[in-house]
Amino acid sequence: MPEPSPFMRAALDAAEAVRGATSPNPWVGAVVVRDGEITGQGATSPPPGMHAEAAALAGGEAQGATLYCTLEPCAAFEGKRTPPCVDAIREAGVAKVVVALEDPDPRVSGRGIAALREAGVTVETGDGREEVSRSLRPYLKHRQTGTPYIIAKFAASLDGRTAANTGDSKWITGEAAREVVHRERARVDAILSGSGTVLADDPALTARPGGILPGRQPVRVIVDARGRVPADAQVFSGPGHVIVAAGEDAPDAWKQQITATGATVIDCERDGTGVNLQQLLPALARRGIMSAWVEAGSTLLGSLFDGGHVDELWAFLAPRIIGGRGAPAVGGEGVQRVADAHALREVVVEQVGNDILVRGYTGRWDNPGD
């Protein structure tokens, strides 16, 4: 994979610094370069703030300069809330724009680059394309499929158990692994869990990297087909918003109790194991949720894998054996043949404290940048 140029690397670093804080817009970085020096740098602000290109241009002299940006600058389209970046680039007198990746959003795709070229601006594409494609996987899938990017996480013993046969699960992995989880929670739009997990552990499901509770919290999404989670569960008392995906036939009185906490209840059709995920996931995407980090029991994880919804897996394995009838990490119907198992691509294995983290891409969605 070709390495990004140093200036595109700077734009990528700016983008990564705001990952998780820009939805439903993508995290984008941009730098202005004149005479071989960076004179301005910017990244996407939360809506309705500046886009990366406008922020970079505001910070440096751009007449005759080159602008490096990780994603195609936006053009005008109906309903747009911010001024088009192509206009800001043209008005600033930028001579050249280097774009890593074209925007797959059909309202923009190719139109931003075409508008710049029509205005006499030189445009080059492809610098850093592969790395930007990986960074923006959630955004790309959201725009291409209308569903969120799903990252499944579980912590298990070496024999694949996530709890003892008594239900006890604290703690299988160590503090270092839990810190990684909090860091990743802070980078997504939503944390998805099931009613069984909430009933068993009463988790807060907040992001607390470094033990600090940041003001921006991912949406907490609880899948509860039968209406079992109590309104006084800890998940409803933390900062940020909560969505409960309930079966259409769940008790109305329970739904009223949940909405009284400030949470939103989404009515979903039922399927064999719970709510219809084919219906729920697009509904979450329409609410601006581009990425979801799943911390759930074997039933929900199994349903997500069975449906081909999981795009990335983070499996934390502790060097211990639980044995017995402890809970498996992933349930569901599974596959009939080992050859049909859900295989990981671009696998990374690393030690986190005393634990091992195995992560990689899976699922049906094909990122053109992979």
Here the CATH number for the domain that contains residue 36 is: 3.40.140.10
Nearest by Cα to 239 from 300, 191, 175, 291:
191
Q: 53 catalytic, yes or no?
A: yes
> What is the pLDDT at residue 79?
61
> 168 and 82: one domain?
no
> 180 and 320: one domain?
yes
Average pLDDT of the residues in 76-81: 69
Q: Which residues of 83-114 are buried (b: 16+ CB within 10 A; e: fewer)?
A: ebbbbbbbebebeebbbbbbbbbeebeebbbe
Higher per-residue pLDDT: 186 or 1: 186
- Domain-located, residue 214: yes
> 298 and 348: one domain?
yes
Nearest by Cα to 52 from 27, 75, 33:
27
Write down how long the chain is. 370
CA distances (Å), origin 139, targets 23, 169, 223, 262: 9, 33, 23, 28
> 124 and 156: one domain?
no
- Domain-located, residue 336: yes
- What is the identity of the amino acid at 56? A
- Domain-located, residue 370: no
**Catalytic entry in 3, 16, 37, 53:** 53
Number of Cβ within a 10 Å radius of residue 270: 16
- Which percentage of the chain shows pLDDT scores above 70? 98
> 153 and 228: one domain?
yes
> 208 and 327: one domain?
yes
The DSSP code for 298 is H
Token code pair at residue 33: 């370069």
Look at residues 108, 135, 162 and tell me which one is the last residue of a structural domain: 135
CA distances (Å), origin 42, targets 50, 98, 283, 295: 9, 15, 32, 33
> 248 and 280: one domain?
yes
- Domain-located, residue 89: yes
Range of the domain at 287: 144-361
What CATH number is given to the structural domain containing 179?
A: 3.40.430.10
- Domain-located, residue 347: yes
What average pLDDT is seen over the chain?
91
Backbone angles phi, psi at 246, to 5 degrees: -115, 155
For residue 169, pLDDT over 80 is answered with no
Look at residues 112, 135, 158 and tell me which one is the last residue of a structural domain: 135
> 170 and 262: one domain?
yes
- Domain-located, residue 165: yes
CA distances (Å), origin 147, targets 134, 270, 283: 17, 19, 8
Query: How many alpha carbons lie under 13 Å from residue 177 in its C-beta half-sphere?
Result: 25
The DSSP code for 119 is T
> What is the pLDDT at residue 54?
92
Confidence of residue 1 (pLDDT cuts 50, 70, 90): low
**Pairing outcome for strands 96-99 and 66-69:** parallel
If one counts the domains in the chain, the total is 2
Look at residues 135, 160, 175 and tell me which one is the last residue of a structural domain: 135
- Domain-located, residue 366: no
Question: How far apart are the C-alpha atoms of 23 and 29, rounded to whole Å?
Answer: 14
Question: What DSSP element (H or E) covers 158?
Answer: none
- Domain-located, residue 25: yes
> What is the pLDDT at residue 238?
84
- What is the identity of the amino acid at 263? A
